[in-house]
């Protein structure tokens, strides 16, 4: 049961950064100019841009895993879509991990 570590780690980083980016977007609009959020707009922008690139990496990894483990297109697309929703993205990662573990189990037979 060797779930690709790169996918798990990247999915968690992207999930956490999704939450941060959503919170930052709200806080930038509802706080005054002296708040931490507004004084660190440049840092938030860098994190936001890094999140975008990392999210593209997650999409590529989901696609690669879907080909490797013969996922149905609906499962692949739903995993990609669920990765965009804060907190739900963690469930999507677990769901994909369980699918990989089922595919790699001895009872699953040869691929």
Identify the pLDDT of residue 36. 96
Q: What parts of the chain have a pLDDT lower than 70? A: 1-3, 108-111
CA distances from 89 to 15, 69, 105, 108 (A): 6, 20, 24, 26
pTM of the model: 0.87
Identify the pLDDT of residue 89. 95
Identify the pLDDT of residue 74. 97
Q: Give dist(CA 97, CA 109) in Å, integer.
A: 18
**CB–CB of 6/61 below 8 Å?**
yes
Identify the pLDDT of residue 106. 77
DSSP E strand boundaries for 4-59: none
Identify the pLDDT of residue 104. 87
């Amino acid at each position: 049961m060797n779930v690709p570590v790169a996918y798990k780690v990247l999915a968690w980083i992207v999930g956490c950064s999704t939450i941060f980016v959503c919170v930052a977007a709200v806080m930038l609009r509802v706080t005054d100019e002296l708040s931490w959020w507004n004084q660190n707009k440049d840092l938030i922008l860098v994190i936001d841009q890094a999140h975008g690139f990392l999210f593209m990496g997650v999409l590529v990894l989901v696609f690669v895993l879907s080909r490797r483990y013969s996922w149905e297109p609906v499962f692949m697309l739903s995993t990609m879509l669920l990765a965009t929703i804060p907190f739900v993205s963690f469930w999507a990662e677990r769901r994909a991990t369980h699918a990989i573990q089922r595919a790699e189990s001895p009872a699953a037979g040869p691929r």
